[in-house]
Amino acid sequence: MATESRIALMKERFYSTLASLRTLTNAKNTAYIEDERYKELIEEVSTAKITARKTSRDYWLLRRYDVLTIDQKSKLIFPVKDIISTIIYYACDSELFDILHEAHIQIGHGGRDRMMKVVGSHYKNITRKDIETYLELCEPCQQKQKNIKKGIVVKPIISSECNSRCQVDLIDFQSQPDGDNKFIMVYQDHLTKFVVLKPLSTLYWTYLLYLVLLQYFSLITAENFPTELLRI
C-alpha cells in the first residue's frame, strides 16, 4: 500500500477509535477540543480580552486561554506568563493526528514517553491516551513490539527428578588463594537447588571444566557429568 493511503487509513482509524473512546468514557472534563468548540473559544476569549467589565466567566477563560493571531490566523494558546516562555498551543481535533504523526516520525518512531515530552512542550491538551491510541495504529511500532514480546518469552526448563539436570559455575579467587586452591566449582542441582562445592587447584582442571561447560552450554545432565572431575 502506498505511504499516503496507509497514512490516510491510519488517520481514519485514529479518529474512529478516538470517537468510540470518547463515547465510552463520556467524561465531562476532557482535554480534547472539537473544531467547532475551538472556533467558539477563540471568539469568546477574544471578546473577554477586550471587555472592560469582565465577568467571572471571562476571568476563568483568560486564566486558561489566550488568542494568538499570525497572518490573520487565530490560534488558541495557553496564556504566556513572560516573554521568554515558549508558546503552548491548544490542538483542535482535526489537527491532532497530523501533530502526533509528525512528532512520531521526527523522533524516529519514538515511544509514548518520548512523544509525550515532544508534544507536551508545544501542546497543552494532547493526552497520554491520544498518544497511545496513535501508537497502537503505527504498524512498524506494533511489529517491533511483537518481536520484542517474542524475544522475551523464555520457556522454563522443568526438571522433575533430583540429579536430572544441574548448573555448573566457577568462582575464581586466584588473587587470594587458599593454600593450593585457586578456584571453586559450584555444582547446583536444578530441581532441589542442592549445591556441591569443589575446590580446584590448577588452571589445568579449570580449563578442563571450561571445556565441559562449553560443550554443554553450562547446563548439563548429571548422567553426562564427568565424575572424574568430582574426584579431582
12/178 with CB nearer Zn ion:
12
Nearest distance in Å: CB 24, Zn ion: 25
49/114 with CB nearer Zn ion:
114
- Identify the bridge partners of residue 70 per DSSP, sorted by sequence position: 73
104/190 with CB nearer Zn ion:
104
- Identify the bridge partners of residue 184 per DSSP, sorted by sequence position: 171, 199
Nearest distance in Å: CB 198, Zn ion: 53
Residues that bind Zn ion (CB under 5 A): 109, 138, 140-141
- Identify the bridge partners of residue 74 per DSSP, sorted by sequence position: 69
Nearest distance in Å: CB 209, Zn ion: 48
Q: 90 in the Ramachandran plot: left (φ > 0), alpha (ψ -120 to 50) or beta?
A: beta
Nearest distance in Å: CB 21, Zn ion: 20
Distance (Å, whole) CA 198 – CA 231: 9
User: What does the angle CA 169 – CA 170 – CA 171 come to, to the nearest 5 degrees?
Assistant: 130
Nearest distance in Å: CB 17, Zn ion: 16
Burial of 90 (0-12, 13-18, 19+ CB in 10 A): buried
141/184 with CB nearer Zn ion:
141
140/156 with CB nearer Zn ion:
140
- Contact between 71 and 130 under an 8 Å Cβ cutoff? The reply is no
